[in-house]
Amino acid sequence: MGRIVFAGAMSHVLDPDYYERACGAVGRKTVIDIMGEIGRMGERLSARKPDALIVVADDHLNAFSFNCVPAMCVRIGRSVQRMTQDHAEAFDKVLDHMPTEYPLHEALANAILEQGLQSGFDLALSWEAPVDHAFLSPVNTLHGARTIPPLVPIFVNAFVAPQPTARRCFAFGQHIARVVARSPWNVGIIATGGLSHFPELSLPRVGETDTVFDKRLIHWMEIGEHAPLQELTADELHKTGSHEFLNWMVLLGAVTPARAQVRYFGELARINMAAVEWTLA
Amino acid sequence: MSRYAVNSLLYRLKKDEAFRARFLEDANAALAGADLTEAERAAFVAHDMRKLNELGGYLHLVMSIPGLARH
């Protein structure tokens, strides 16, 4: 019987240069500090020797554009490529130094997809979608020079309205937990993004965050109280800049009722940086 | 507003280096035939990413187009 052996969630632009440009010296220091914590989380992940690592993250209009934006999509196949961007700017530049190709855990991805469709989750699938910083910045920071286990990238549409509901994301996470339990594999799962930044996806509001809202989310995760999180509305997530918390909702469904331990929380003018790990039975 | 037209052009500007070069050389010519309102066309020609975001352009696109991004 398989089991989830590690669960963590973290912000996903992990680049000291980016945050120094955006927030000055305090930005650099904050991201270096959180990257240190995520590195230590990665040591615990690697120590549990996962057969696969599920990565729940969002696309930033890189893999999916205007031909199709799936609510939830399982990346299947044998390998996944890093998104490429000529003359990359901002968060895209984070990818520049990273390996270009990563192995996938084909059997687990297929199981999540096939059993999902049988269970009423109308998941999209992709053989070709590349992954951007939302996937690869945390994965590489967690592992450093160590070998990265085969990945199962899962895309959640966090930005293009209408997005899936928090409740649906949580239910999908519960589905993932059932698939893992029926499998022979030990699996790690991470969710990425957030916390509060870019409220209402408005350029004039870049630089604002909602720390009160973030502290509320963290409190519920720490006490393992997941019901109110499932009640979060698209409007609340949009207004507070918490769009990417949908990724975290998938992870919460997979590990519920486990309690979270905050490894790092740091406020920047641009974003609240967080790294959280769950205590699993 | 024509969100699709704005965003598909923003996406093309990000991902299509040759189109981006044509746009930077002569924005009016590059946009000829695009289904844009007057306000949208003016914002593109002025490289006004803030206005394009206000007109429905996705934030992550206006923040990441090489040479044009506002962040």
C-alpha distance from B32 to closest chain A C-alpha (Å): 20
Residues of B in contact with A60 (CB under 8 A): 60, 64
CB contact B62 to A (< 8 Å) = yes
pLDDT digits (tens, 9 = 90+) for A198-229: 999 999 999 999 999 999 999 999 999 999 99
**Whether B53 and A86 lie within 8 Å, measured CB to CB:** no
For residue B65, list chain A residues with Cβ-Cβ distance below 8 A. 89
| Yes or no, beta carbons of B8 and A65 under 8 Å apart | yes
pLDDT at A66: 82
- Residues in chain B within 8 Å Cβ distance of A159: 58-60
How many CA atoms lie within 13 Å of A50's alpha carbon, on the beta-carbon side?
A: 30
**B11 SS3 class:** helix
Q: Are strands A72-75 and A272-279 parallel, antiparallel or unpaired?
A: unpaired
Rounded to an integer, the average pLDDT of A35-39 is 98
Question: Could you tell me the pTM of the whole model?
Answer: 0.96
What would the pLDDT profile of A72-131 be if each residue is shown by its tens digit?
999 999 999 999 999 998 889 999 889 999 999 999 999 999 999 999 999 999 999 999
pLDDT at A277: 98
Closest-CA residue of chain B to A160: B58
**Residues in chain A, total:** 281
Share of chain A above pLDDT 90, in %: 94
Buried residues in A260-274 as b, exposed as e (16+ CB within 10 A)? beebbbbbbebbbbb
Contacts of A151 (CB under 8 A, 6+ apart): A52, A53, A54, A55, A80, A102, A103, A104, A105, A135, A139
Nearest by CB: B64 against A92, A159, A198? A92
DSSP assignments along chain A, one per residue = --EEEEEEEE-S---HHHHHHHH-HHHHHHHHHHHHHHHHHHHHHHHT--SEEEEEE---SSS--SS---SEEEE-SSEEEB---TT--GGGGGGTTS-SEEEB-HHHHHHHHHHHHHTT---EEESS--B-HHHHHHHHHHHTTSPPPPEEEEEE--SSSSPPPHHHHHHHHHHHHHHHHHSS-EEEEEEE--SSBSGGG-GGGTT---HHHHHHHHHHHHTT--HHHHT--HHHHHHHT-TTHHHHHHHHHHHTTPEEEEEEEEE-SSBEEEEEEEE--
Instruction: Quickly state the pLDDT bin for A67 (edges 50, 70, 90).
Output: confident
pLDDT tens-digit series, residues A147-156: 999 999 999 9
Counting every residue written for chain B, the total comes to: 71
Tell me the shortest Cα–Cα distance from A120 to chain B, in angstroms: 30
Interface test with B, best of A59, A65, A84 (most B CBs within 10 A): A65
Question: For position B2, what pLDDT does the model report?
Answer: 59
What is d(CA A51, CA A38) in angstroms, rounded to the nearest whole number?
20
Rounded to the nearest 10 degrees, the angle between the axes of helix A166-182 and helix A245-255 is 40
Task: Note whether B19 contacts A: Cβ–Cβ < 8 A.
Answer: no
The torsion defined by the Cα of B48, B50, B56 and B61, in degrees rounded to 10, comes to 80
Band of pLDDT at residue A175, cut at 50, 70 and 90:
very high
Identify whether the C-beta of residue A108 lies closer than 8 Å to the C-beta of residue A183: yes
Cα distance between residue A118 and residue A115, in whole Å: 5
Q: How far is B28 from chain A (nearest CA, A)?
A: 23
B55 to chain A, any CB pair closer than 8 A? The answer is no
Query: If pLDDT is split at 50, 70 and 90, which confidence band does A281 have?
Result: confident
Using an 8 Å Cβ cutoff, are A275 and A250 in contact?
A: no
- A3-273 fold: Protocatechuate 4,5-dioxygenase; Chain B (3.40.830)
- Chain A, nearest residue to B54 by Cα: A202
Q: Which of B2, B59, B3, B56 is nearest to A206 (CA)?
A: B59
- Per residue in B15-52, pLDDT tens? 999 999 999 999 999 999 899 999 999 999 999 999 99
Residue B63 has pLDDT above 70, yes or no: yes
What pLDDT shows up at residue A90?
Answer: 86
Residues from chain A that touch B59, judged by Cβ atoms under 8 A, are: 159, 198, 201-203, 206
Option in B17, B53, B54 nearest A86 (CB):
B17
Distance (Å, whole) CA A131 – CA A59: 7
In this structure, what are the phi and psi dihedrals at residue A255, rounded to the nearest 5 degrees?
-115, -5
Over range B6-13, report the average pLDDT: 95
At A10-33, the pLDDT tens digits run: 999 999 999 999 999 999 999 999
pLDDT of residue A89: 86
> Mean per-residue pLDDT for A242-268?
97
Contact B63 A206 (CB under 8 A): yes
Q: What is the DSSP letter of B15?
A: H
Tokens of A74: 């399982």
ipTM of the complex: 0.90
Q: Give the range among A234-238, B43-47, B66-70 with minimum mean pLDDT.
A: B66-70
Q: What single-letter DSSP state applies at residue B27? A: H
